[in-house]
Amino acid sequence: MNIDRDTVLKLYETMVTIRDFETRVKDEFARGRIPGFVHLYAGEEAVATGVCASLKEGDTITSTHRGHGHCIAKGCDVDGMMAEIFGKATGLCKGKGGSMHIADVSKGMLGANGIVGGGPPLACGAALSAKMRGSDNVCICFFGDGAAEQGTFHESLNLAAIWKLPVVFVAENNGFAESTPVSYHCAIENIADRAAGYGIPGASIDGMDVLAVYEAAQEAINRARKGLGPSLLECKTYRYHGHFEGDQQLYKTDELQQKMMAHDAIKNLHETGIQQGLATAQDFDAIDARVQQKIEGAVAFADRSPYPELSELDTDVYIVAVS
């Protein structure tokens, strides 16, 4: 695959944005400024980034409880995201959803989802809709290794297969579902091998290598766009922080943590970019600086934004008749 400079820098910027966003959320949470349950995507940046890089206008994604990275990769506004996570009126969901329900349908981001396994059926629907509306749009369904044991995974893969829906199912296998290792909860080693049960392509790839993800996802996305149906792409990845903030992660060994962090996706791309002469250290530094500013701005925005009015409590439950 030919990767050009623009692609490298774009992938890098997205990954760094996610990393910095999450790192900042972690800090703000520790400072007690973020309420609720927060699940960070740090470590897994290559997956959302590599997959979403091949999406276009009208494409959609479904996400999980660990959704910040998907949002950013799909182009959601980080100011609105941070404000949402702070519970502010200027948040993407007016503060009503929070981290676990952050969404921007106008950007094709169909929502983080607090229900493990909640996404796959929605993804089938978005893909069916794209198909019935005559577009060549696709839907990406992100889900964790733990979600691969939910019934909705199975039903959705079968449905997408028999209807040849333009969905790419992306398993983010980070080795754990909460504190439970995938080797315990899953009867087989590679989730991608379940693709055979639905007669669709399946592939297991290194989810810490953004270029590998980019390449594999592009193939699956193109296939879906052409009307050839769904694929299952398993990205082996790793989360750097706890399942949620507050988790002490004793179920991880230091060896594992060090090994995976040594294989960091951002560092890898940085190195590859320079080695292959596609970008310079200065290019990357400029991005780092820009992103830092952006995240700083997002926190400031969230900070100065007001909380929702109490009148918001029972609005937005129903849409007022459209007809």
Partner 1 sequence: MAVQMKTKTVTFAEAINEAIRLEMRRNPRVFLMGEDVAGGATLEHLEEDEAWGGVLGVTKGLVQEFGRERIRDTPISESAYIGAAVGAAATGMVPIAELMFCSFIGSCMDSLLNQSSKIRYMFGGKASIPMVVRTIIGGGFRAAAQHAQTLYPIFAHIPGLKVVAASNPADAKGLLTAALRDGNPVIFCEHIALYQIKGEIPEGEYVVPIGKAAVTREGKDVTLVGVSMTARHALAAAEELAKDGIDAEVVDLRTISPLDETTILNSVAKTGRLVVADESNPVCGLATHIAGIVASKGFSSLHAPVGLVTPPHSPVPFSPVLEDAYLPSPEKIVAAARAVCGK
Binding residues vs ligand TPP (CB under 6 A): 64-66, 114-117, 144-147, 172, 174, 176-178, 243
- Site map 261..300 versus partner 1, x via CB under 8 A: ----------------------------------------
Q: How many residues bind its own copies (CB under 8 A)?
A: 24
What are the φ and ψ backbone dihedral angles of 176, each rounded to 5 degrees? -140, 145
In terms of CB distance, is 50 or 91 closer to partner 1? 91
**199 binds its own copies, rule: CB under 8 A:** yes
**318 binds its own copies, rule: CB under 8 A:** no
**152 binds its own copies, rule: CB under 8 A:** yes
Rounded Cα gap, residues 99 and 307, in angstroms: 15
DSSP state string for 33-69:
-S-S-----TT-HHHHHHHHTT--TT-EEE--SS-HH
CB of 177 to ligand TPP, least distance (A): 3
- Site map 245..264 versus partner 1, x via CB under 8 A: -----xx-x-----------
In terms of CB distance, is 41 or 143 closer to its own copies? 143
234 forms beta bridges with: 171, 204
Q: In whole angstroms, how far apart are CA 280 and each of 168, 208, 277, 287, 294? A: 33, 21, 7, 11, 21
Segment contacting partner 1 by CB under 8 A, of 1-9, 16-24, 116-124, 280-288: 116-124
**Structure-block tokens of residue 90:** 């200027």
Cβ atoms of 155 and 163 within 8 Å: the answer is no
Cβ atoms of 249 and 242 within 8 Å: the answer is yes
Residue from 196, 286, 300, 313 in contact with its own copies (CB under 8 A): 196
